Structure 1
Amino acid sequence: MLRFLVRRMLGAVVILLLISAITYLLFFTLPSDPALLSCGKNCSPQNVTLIHKNLGLDQPVPVQYGEYMAGILFGRHLPLGTCPAPCFGLSFAGNMPIWEIIKSRYPTTLSLAIGGAAAFLTIGVGLGLISAWRQGKPIDKIAGSVSLMGQSVQIYFIGPLAIYLFADTLGWTDPGHDPDWSHGPAGSISGLILPCLVMSVIFWSNYSRQTRSLMVEQLAEDHVRTARAKGMSAAYVFFRYALRGAMGPIVTIFGIDLGSILGGAIITESTFGLHGLGQLAVSAVTQTDLPLEMGVMLFSAAAIVLFNVLIDASYAVIDPRVRLS
């Protein structure tokens, strides 16, 4: 088990290094000059030269990349003073440390992603289990129809409808706001219920179909039929044998969907007016703030890689055969 996790961690480090190198080359070797973008259209050549020196753009690209990575790990000295680790540089727009901006935004996106994942796993897997348990019955057909409808909608369409119906008309829930965990969980959770449920719709419909298919396949396996022949109850066989065999692929699918969860968070944040990493990334693109764009991208990539390592660890717990691979 430990050897398995060590290999996954080493692989994650290599992946992050490759992502950081490719991202740095893409952003800082573009035809557009980052110094000119930072200074503006009416910038004098003297100011462009000064910005080049302050940003370290007058040095070879490998040296720039080395200093950038050293800043993330150990911190570095910037024109406005010392930048402690992790230092992603300064934002062109506000001359603020990028890590401070990310630190103020990622709790919203993290809360949205965790809440949305909990919602679509609970609803999707639950519907799939009900369909598999009652396959061929009316409830199976109803669950299948609901899942198909869920896959047919998009966040930017169902989001405003949900706000109008459940928040404005019925008043059942808050239309959505940024969580403030310093004032207790109740107020923060209330502002995330509707966004999390809306974001989960496009995901749980797929998990419902996948879970049903995997459970039906597992129920036809020899070891499940053997368990039934030994006189074990249908419920025990369903949850103890079939469900455990189906959970491995579901966990794998969830690991693949982690990037899609962040993509869905961008649209959800824009729809509900939440100030998370998704909205920050859009703002950085519109303002052509290259250091901020790169900082958000690297932070998001690191989060996805870390979550995938955790998924691998959970997969090893579910399926003991993985520990030997």
Structure 2
Amino acid sequence: MSNKQNTQNTQNAQNAQQNIINTPKISINKSAANSRIIGKISDFLVFIGKRAASAILVLTLIAVVLFLIFFMLPANPAQLACGKPCTPERLARVSAFMGTDAPWYEQLGSYIRGIFFGRKFTNSAGATIVCAGPCLGWSFTLNEPVTNLIMSRFVVTASLATGAAVLWLTVGVATGVISAAKEGSFIDRALRALSSVGISSPAYLIGMLAILAFAVYLPIFPTGGYISFAESPLDWLQHLLLPWLVLVLLNAAYYTRLTRAHMLDELQQDYMRTALAKGMPRSKAITRHAMPNAMLPVLTMFGLDLGGLLGGAVITERVFSMQGLGSLLLDSVKNLDLQVLVGVTLFAAALVIVANLVVDVCYRFVDPRAAVC
């Protein structure tokens, strides 16, 4: 009995000693894992901070260039905003309101500060008008802050651009992958022919033919216009489906060609032959190995295209009578409203910069090699 008790005590002591030995290892492993997670988060935040600082710097430089191009021209912006008849007294009041009576460097400083911190204007009656930041100027044609005009029109353009972009990316990538997987087949030749038609077709022609076919002869869709989502979700969708289809036909063709080209390149790589030699089904090898690598250039192109389209789909908005940023830009050119013209151009540039930033972030998740950059 005593021997059994001694044996049991010895076993308990050994277990306790083993637990003591293992406990630090577990805590050390957890500590190392936590340190790695914190390090990755820290690196990611540093990456975002650097990209954001670079984006702000680029946007500031673009604002300076736009100011110098549009406001340092021989034509006087105040003269353009003065209207007719423009008396010397009225021109002086408009110049004071716009700030063009100050030296150019003061005008530039006021413009840049207004973008980040807001700006104040004094009208002819001596009243102060506050333009909250980001202030992109004042429309003397519409008598409203440019920022308000852009935001009200941006809802229309964003609805048009985001829906169409998701559709054309899905269709373009799917058809590109199918075309590459069935290289040389009838399906491949048919998809390549259709993409050639889409690439070579003008946007205004496709838009007009779509309206003629599906809004006039077959009155399935409205001829144009825009209904807000809050007002009627069904009407919102009905008014956007036809413009979406037009943009999908035009843009999916590029993505079909781009995806097919990069997929064919990836299908010839050694890792694909290795995966197939190990018995992996071809469809699984394509989706698991080839597609992620082929999507990297497609992702870059998609970010740039979406950013540009958010800046204003000029032709599509005109064809379908949608009052978005593209229409606002054309109206500012027609009315010589330089404040709106510069504001919309700067806003479009900012969208492209943001799209590039999002693409850079996505790259770090899609391609692990980008995380070391």
Report the TM-score, using the length of structure 2 for normalisation: 0.83
8 Å CA contact retained: 2:308, 2:348: no
Q: CA deviation at 1:262?
A: 5.0
Return the alpha-carbon distance in structure 1 between the equivalents of residues 299 and 72 of structure 2. 38
Q: Which residue among 10, 13, 16 is the counterpart of 2:53? A: 10
Other-structure match for 2:364: 316
Q: Compare relative contact order (CA 8 Å, sep 6+) and give the higher one, 1 or 2.
A: 1
Return the alpha-carbon distance in structure 2 between the equivalents of residues 264 and 87 of structure 1. 19
Q: CA deviation at 1:321?
A: 0.6
8 Å CA contact retained: 2:139, 2:146: yes
Q: CA deviation at 1:102?
A: 1.2
Other-structure match for 1:54: 97
Q: CA deviation at 1:276?
A: 0.3
8 Å CA contact retained: 2:304, 2:355: no
Return the alpha-carbon distance in structure 2 between the equivalents of residues 94 and 263 of structure 1. 20
Other-structure match for 1:144: 192
Return the alpha-carbon distance in structure 2 between the equivalents of residues 152 and 88 of structure 1. 37
3-state SS of the aligned residue for 1:181? coil
How do 1:1-325 residues align onto structure 2 when only pairs under 5 Å count? 1-80=44-123, 81-258=129-306, 260-261=308-309, 265-325=313-373
- Name the CA shift for 1:116/1:105 in 2 (closer, same or farther; >3 Å): same
Return the alpha-carbon distance in structure 2 between the equivalents of residues 172 and 129 of structure 1. 32
Q: How many residues align?
A: 325
Aligned-residue Cα RMSD (Å) equals 1.7
Q: CA deviation at 1:170?
A: 2.1
Return the alpha-carbon distance in structure 1 between the equivalents of residues 114 and 311 of structure 2. 28
Unpaired segments ≥5 residues, structure 2? 1-43, 124-128
3-state SS of the aligned residue for 1:135? coil
CA-to-partner distance for each residue in 1:85-136, whole Å, 9 max, x for gaps?
Answer: 2222211212211112112111111111112211211111111111112111
CA-to-partner distance for each residue in 1:17-63, whole Å, 9 max, x for gaps?
Answer: 11100001111111111111111243122222222222211222221
Unpaired segments ≥5 residues, structure 1? none
8 Å CA contact retained: 1:199, 1:264: no
Identical residues among aligned pairs (%): 40
8 Å CA contact retained: 2:60, 2:112: no
Return the alpha-carbon distance in structure 2 between the equivalents of residues 264 and 230 of structure 1. 49
3-state SS of the aligned residue for 1:192? helix
8 Å CA contact retained: 1:113, 1:261: yes
Question: What amino acid is aligned across from residue 233 of structure 2 in structure 1?
Answer: P
3-state SS of the aligned residue for 1:252? helix
8 Å CA contact retained: 2:311, 2:348: no
Return the alpha-carbon distance in structure 1 between the equivalents of residues 309 and 79 of structure 2. 35
Return the alpha-carbon distance in structure 2 between the equivalents of residues 178 and 292 of structure 1. 22
CA-to-partner distance for each residue in 1:210-239, whole Å, 9 max, x for gaps?
Answer: 111111111111111111111112111010
- Name the CA shift for 1:50/1:173 in 2 (closer, same or farther; >3 Å): closer
8 Å CA contact retained: 1:38, 1:92: yes
Q: CA deviation at 1:16?
A: 0.2
3-state SS of the aligned residue for 1:182? coil
- Name the CA shift for 1:308/1:185 in 2 (closer, same or farther; >3 Å): farther
8 Å CA contact retained: 2:303, 2:358: no
8 Å CA contact retained: 2:162, 2:306: no
Other-structure match for 2:37: none
3-state SS of the aligned residue for 1:78? strand
Return the alpha-carbon distance in structure 2 between the equivalents of residues 293 and 147 of structure 1. 34
Question: What amino acid is aligned across from residue 15 of structure 1 in structure 2?
Answer: V
Return the alpha-carbon distance in structure 1 between the equivalents of residues 313 and 143 of structure 2. 26
3-state SS of the aligned residue for 2:120? strand
Return the alpha-carbon distance in structure 1 between the equivalents of residues 311 and 149 of structure 2. 20
Report the TM-score, using the length of structure 1 for normalisation: 0.95
Return the alpha-carbon distance in structure 2 between the equivalents of residues 253 and 78 of structure 1. 41
8 Å CA contact retained: 1:4, 1:323: no
